[in-house]
Amino acid sequence: MSFLSLKEIRFNSVTELCAEVLEGKTHLGMRHCPHDRDPRPPSTIWEFRDDGTIYHPHSDMCVTTYRTAEGRADAQMRRCVPGDRHQYWKYEWCRAKKYDYRSLPTTSVVIAFYNEAWSTLLRTVHSVLETCPAILLREVILVDDFSDRGYLKHQLEEYMSKLERCASHPHQQAGGAGARPAHRRHPTPRGTVLTFLDCHCECVPGWIRTTPGEVRG
């Protein structure tokens, strides 16, 4: 695989293929690379940013990788989160406070949703996975509040099954306080503390470290 001056991600095989992202899609695709003198299709143009991210200008998304349930590595597109949105704490005393993660209780993050947009819901899930220390996060549980959008059924369950420490519970009346007893109809959450999140939010590094400490007292 090579990144060329033409801003393509090119796979050098018997027939050269270039990575692209089609309109409205979140997965990488392949197409025959255009000849050197042909114009570059917008779907095949990429940027390597200084922070190490691979950016796709046409879809305004970045490449993210994850490990599937079978242990294979896979890649897909997600919204790029600018660095200034992942700053730690604004106040010096917050940034200076130290936490012993090994002494904090673990947590299961529960997210109830109803007809949420695909990208918004997955952005919430990935922000939890990317900002919670593995030693604290036992699992992310999605609880469906009787959504009727097709992509929130089997497609969502299949996607979540490929992520580590994630599960989707479909067709459960959840919203508000309903999400709290929903776990009674399913295997008991593994975390010591249950953390309930809104289905359209983006977590920043450090957000989880204060809550378990307060619950522990």
**DSSP track, 62-74:** EEEEEE-TTS-EE
The 10 Å Cβ neighbour count of residue 147 is 18
14: which residues sit within 8 A by CB, 6+ positions away? none
Whether pLDDT at 13 is above 70: no
3-state SS assignment for residue 102: helix
Q: What is the mean pLDDT of residues 145-159?
A: 89
Instruction: Tell me the pLDDT band of 196, cut-offs 50, 70 and 90.
Output: very high
Q: Write down the pTM of the prediction.
A: 0.55
Kindly tell me the burial class for residue 153, based on how many C-beta atoms sit within 10 Å of its own C-beta (0-12, 13-18, 19 or more): middle
Q: What is the pLDDT of residue 85?
A: 45
Whether pLDDT at 90 is above 70: no
Q: What is the pLDDT of residue 84?
A: 44
96: which residues sit within 8 A by CB, 6+ positions away? none
**Distance separating alpha carbons of residues 154 and 105, to the nearest angstrom:** 33
Lowest mean pLDDT among 14-18, 114-118, 177-181: 177-181
Q: Helix 154-161 vs helix 118-131: angle between axes, to the nearest 10 degrees?
A: 20
Q: What is the pLDDT of residue 216?
A: 63
Mean pLDDT score of the chain: 76
Instruction: Tell me the pLDDT band of 86, cut-offs 50, 70 and 90.
Output: very low
Whether pLDDT at 110 is above 90: yes
Higher per-residue pLDDT: 121 or 15: 121
User: Are 77 and 56 in contact, with CB atoms under 8 Å apart?
Assistant: yes
Lowest mean pLDDT among 14-23, 83-92, 122-131, 158-167: 83-92
